[in-house]
């Protein structure tokens, strides 16, 4: 099983190991509407395959499910099979945003019991030449469609009615958490009681993940300790994508079992009956 965060040296070693079925997946996606496919064609890790976050890694958007609900299991399985990712394929995913988008795919695969990791440093960690153009032709494979485990996700009602000892994290940038700006969702602010743990804080100045001890210290500040099963932790963001970065960082620090609120702020803010908080405090 790959660790949640994969150094480039480990990727190279696994690629060179005989008999290992490993696929590198490019998950570049942009909130501002730029094309991840065009970015892939302009330069990607040799042998990588691009996946469409909106079409495969998320389902159709809507007010109830948010901008990036989990996809139908059949759609997810078929999309992976089309790029050669079968049931036993190891996946190392990357993007050019510190793992913001690629972390969603890695979390989904690990949640289903797969061996998947996020390339530490993203495409910037690759020191060799980049390939350009479309991906190399690949023979599609087969993959089973598996249901999303209920224990790994939290519904909007579970977030609203969470017990007092449940810690709700918001992985968005501080200015969106405070409600200073809101570029895409119906309202600005955050879910009342949520604490802000921006996913960007998991990275050092070079764009690589902090070490396990430093990551553990980040989460200890909001009451989550190493060894905690995470059963009382729910993570949200704008639409259930960047929250996965915090989930992987917690796993790297030794904290497992936290749940993802998939709809996150995009679903919460779409319901006028749900209260919103603003400012720097929960």
If you search the block for the tokens 């991906």, which residue do you land on? 135
> CA-to-CA distance for 251 and 224, rounded, in angstroms?
12
Backbone angles phi, psi at 33, to 5 degrees: 95, -5
* CA separation, residue 133 to residues 38, 45, 72, 130, 202 (Å): 9, 11, 30, 10, 32
Residue with tokens 């009382």: 232
Q: Cα 93–112–92 angle (5° rounding)?
A: 15
Please confirm, yes or no, whether 244 is among the known catalytic residues. Answer: no
Which one from 237, 241, 260, 262 is the annotated catalytic residue? 237
* Rounded Cα distance, 234 and 152, in Å: 9
Q: Tokens 């400012």 identify what position?
A: 279
CB 41 within 8 A of CB 49: no
Q: How many Å apart are CA 3 and CA 251, to the nearest integer?
A: 9
Phi-psi region of 84 (alpha: psi -120 to 50; beta: other; left: phi over 0): left
Q: Please give the positions annotated as active site.
A: 237
């Amino acid at each position: 099983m790959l660790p949640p965060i994969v150094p480039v040296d480990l990727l190279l070693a696994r690629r060179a190991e005989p008999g290992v079925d490993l696929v590198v997946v490019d998950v570049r996606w942009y909130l501002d509407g730029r094309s991840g496919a065009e970015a892939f064609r302009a330069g990607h890790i040799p042998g990588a395959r691009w996946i469409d976050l909106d079409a495969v890694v998320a389902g159709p958007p809507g007010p109830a499910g948010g901008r990036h609900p989990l996809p139908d299991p059949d759609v997810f399985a078929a999309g992976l099979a089309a790029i050669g990712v079968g049931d036993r394929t190891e996946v190392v995913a990357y993007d050019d945003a510190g793992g913001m988008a690629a972390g969603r795919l890695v979390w989904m695969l690990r949640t289903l019991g797969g061996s998947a990791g996020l390339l530490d440093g993203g495409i910037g960690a690759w020191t060799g030449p980049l390939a350009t153009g479309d991906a190399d032709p690949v023979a599609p494979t087969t993959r089973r469609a598996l249901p999303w485990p209920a224990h790994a996700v939290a519904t909007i009602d579970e977030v609203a009615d969470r017990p007092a000892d449940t810690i709700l994290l918001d992985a968005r940038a501080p200015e969106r958490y405070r409600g200073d700006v809101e570029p895409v969702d119906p309202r600005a602010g955050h879910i009342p009681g949520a604490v802000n743990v921006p996913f960007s804080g998991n990275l050092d100045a070079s764009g690589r993940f902090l070490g396990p001890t430093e990551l553990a210290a980040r989460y200890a500040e909001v009451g989550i300790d190493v060894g905690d099963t995470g059963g009382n932790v729910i993570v949200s963001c704008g639409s259930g994508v960047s929250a996965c970065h915090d989930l992987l960082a917690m796993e790297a620090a030794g904290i497992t079992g936290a749940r993802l609120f998939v709809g996150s702020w995009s679903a919460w803010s779409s319901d006028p009956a749900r209260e919103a908080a603003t400012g720097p405090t929960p």
